[in-house]
Amino acid sequence: MDDVVDGYEMTVAVEWMVEYILEVRGSPPVRSVTIIDAADIDQVRNELHRELTTLYPDAGRIDVTVIRMSTVSSIDSQSMFEEDGLFHP
């Protein structure tokens, strides 16, 4: 969903679930999952890099193997309620 408003391109970010294996020299591999707000896969990659370098600032090298990457579909919370206010998941 891209729109142009007053000459500025508006891009809607969505949530991406990224499951990965992280290897930092001198430590055992760690399997982890994170949620990243991004507009596209390139931005997901950049945000994941920023997140990991923030978590491991002293690591000279960080090896990442992405296992799974997909968008997270959100559920409209109002659609789970009837007119009487009863909750139906």
pLDDT in tens, 32-75: 999 999 999 999 999 999 999 999 998 888 999 999 998 887 54
**Strand-strand pairing, 62-71 and 30-38:** unpaired
Q: How far apart are CA 49 and CA 57, in angstroms?
A: 11
Give the number of other CB atoms < 10 A from CB of residue 32.
14
Q: What's the pTM?
A: 0.67
- Would you call 36 exposed, middle or buried from its count of C-beta atoms within 10 A (0-12, 13-18, 19+)? buried
**Which among 24, 18, 27 has a CA at the least distance from the CA of 67?**
18
